[in-house]
Amino acid sequence: MRLFAPVTIIAIAQLLGTSLWFSANGAADDLIASWQITATDIGWLTNAVQAGFILGTLVLALGGVADRFRASRLFIFSALAGAVFNACFAWLSHDINSALVFRFLVGICLAGIYPMGMKLVVSWAPERAGAALAQLVAMLTLGTALPHGLRELGTDIPWQWIISASSVLAIVAALLIFRLGDGPHLPAPISVKHKSHTKRFATPAVLQAFRIPRFRAAAWGYFGHMWELYAFWTVLPLLITSLGLASVFPRLGVAGLSFTFIAIGALGCIVGGLLSRRVGSSVVAITALITSGCCVLIFALLWDQLSAVWLVVLFSIWGATVIADSPQFSALSASACPRELVGAALAIQNSIGFGITVVSIAALSRLFEVSGPDAVWLLLPGPVLGVCGFLLTLRHSRQA
C-alpha cells in the first residue's frame, strides 16, 4: 500500500465524520420555520457544538487521553457516539432547548474525530505533514459544506432525514478507520499502569508547549484564523439571503451557494498543501490569512456597491482562503513540539481556538440581527491579530 493511501482514507473518514458539525445549519431554514426561532438561535446551535468540542478537547489534552489511547480507537468511538447523538437531535428534539443538549453532545464527540484525525495523519506521514494535513482539512471543509449540499439535493425531504444522513456518514467513517488503524510513526500510547510517566506527560507538559516560540507563533496565527473561520461559515447563509444572491442564482439557492462557497475551501487547502512543499507552511499560512482578512475588509466596505457577480467572486476567494491556513498552522504546531505530545498539543490548541469561535459566532450572530451585513466588520480583528502575533513572535524568537 502506497503511503498516500492511508492519508487518503483518513481524509475521507474526516469528510464523513465531520459532516456532523454543521448538520443543523444545513436545515436552518426548516428549523426557523418549525420552531419559530431566530438567526441568533441558529448561532447558539452552532455554539453548542463548539462548546462540546472545547470540553472534549480539554479532556483529551489536559487529561492525557489523547496520548494514552490509540488515536484510531478514539476516532471510532467518537464517530459512532456522534452518529447516535446527531440522530437523537433529528428525531428526539422538539425545541431549541432539547436541541442544544444533543448538539453539545455531538460537539464532545467531534473532539475525538478532528484532532485524532490530525494525529492519525502525522502517524502515517510525518515528513509531509503540511500537505497531508491540508488534505485532511480539505475533507473537514467538505464535511462542513456537506449538510448544505444534502439540503440542496433533498429540497423536499424532511429536515430530520437530511440530518440523519450525516449520522450514516459518520458510521462509515468509523468503519474506515477501524480497517486502517494507527500509523507507525508515533510512540505507542502511554500505559495507564505507568502513573508517574503519565503524570509527567499530562497537564504540565502540554502547557509547556506554549513556551516553545515556534509553537506559540503558530498558535497565534491559528487563534486569529479561528476568530474568523466558523463565524464566517455560520453567517454565510444569512449573508446570501440578505444580499438576494439566491434570486440571482435560483438553480443553486441559499443551500447551493452556501455549499459552493464553503466547499471551495477544500480546493484552497489542497493548493495550499502543494505550495507548502515548495515555499513552506509559514508562507502559505500567513498569505492565506492576509488574503482572507482583505476579503473581510473589502466586503465590509463595499458589500452594498458590488454586483452579484463580484460578490460571488469575493465569496469564492474568501471561502478558499479562510480555511487554507488552518492545516499549515497545525503542521507548524505539530513540528514544533515533541512527538510524544503531538496529540495533546494539537488538542489544547484546538480547544482554545474553538473557545474563541464561541465568542465570535455569538457576537456576529447577534450583531447581524441588528445591523445586517455591516456586522462583518467584527471578523477583521482575527486576521489582523493572527498575522501580527505570528510574525512578531517569530521575530522575537530569532532575535533572542
- Please state the domain extents for the chain: 4-180+201-399
**What is the predicted pLDDT for the residue at 202?**
44
Residue 341 has pLDDT above 80, yes or no: no
The top-scoring range by mean pLDDT among 37-51, 138-152, 358-372 is 358-372
- Report yes or no: 177 and 196 within 8 Å, Cβ to Cβ: no
> Which segment of 132-136, 155-159, 298-302, 318-322 scores lowest on mean pLDDT?
155-159
**What is the predicted pLDDT for the residue at 154?**
61
Q: How far is Cα 103 from Cα 28, in angstroms, rounded to an integer?
A: 14
**What is the predicted pLDDT for the residue at 224?**
97
Q: How far is Cα 100 from Cα 326, in angstroms, rounded to an integer?
A: 27
Q: Provide, rounded to the nearest whole percent, the portion of the chain with pLDDT above 90.
A: 48
> Which segment of 113-127, 167-181, 372-386 scores lowest on mean pLDDT?
113-127
Nearest to 188 by CA among 73, 45, 351: 73
What would the pLDDT profile of 198-256 be if each residue is shown by its tens digit?
444 444 456 777 888 999 999 999 999 999 999 999 899 889 999 999 899 988 888 88
**What is the predicted pLDDT for the residue at 52?**
94
Length of the chain: 400
Residue 277 has pLDDT above 60, yes or no: yes
**What is the predicted pLDDT for the residue at 155?**
61
Q: How far is Cα 135 from Cα 11, in angstroms, rounded to an integer?
A: 6
User: How many other CB atoms are found less than 10 A from the CB of residue 287?
Assistant: 18
> Which segment of 42-51, 82-91, 98-107, 377-386 scores lowest on mean pLDDT?
42-51
Q: Which three cell numbers stand for residue 300?
A: 465590509
**What is the predicted pLDDT for the residue at 326?**
92
What would the pLDDT profile of 385-399 be if each residue is shown by its tens digit?
999 999 999 887 776
**What is the predicted pLDDT for the residue at 190?**
55
Residue 38 has pLDDT above 70, yes or no: yes
**What is the predicted pLDDT for the residue at 162?**
81
**What is the predicted pLDDT for the residue at 183?**
82
**What average pLDDT does range 44-69 have in this prediction?**
83
The top-scoring range by mean pLDDT among 36-45, 285-294, 337-346 is 285-294
Model-level pTM greater than 0.75?
Answer: yes
Q: How far is Cα 112 from Cα 183, in angstroms, rounded to an integer?
A: 17
Residue 121 has pLDDT above 70, yes or no: yes
**What is the predicted pLDDT for the residue at 55?**
93
**What is the predicted pLDDT for the residue at 191?**
52
CATH architecture type of domain 4-180+201-399: Up-down Bundle (1.20)
Q: How far is Cα 382 from Cα 220, in angstroms, rounded to an integer?
A: 10
Q: Does residue 281 or residue 64 have the better pLDDT?
A: 281
Nearest to 112 by CA among 63, 168, 179: 63
What would the pLDDT profile of 176-210 be if each residue is shown by its tens digit?
999 998 888 766 665 544 444 444 444 445 677 78
Residue 9 has pLDDT above 60, yes or no: yes
> Which segment of 230-234, 310-314, 378-382 scores lowest on mean pLDDT?
230-234
Q: Which three cell numbers stand for residue 350?
A: 484546538
> Helices 213-243 and 326-336 sit at what angle, rounded to 10 degrees?
160
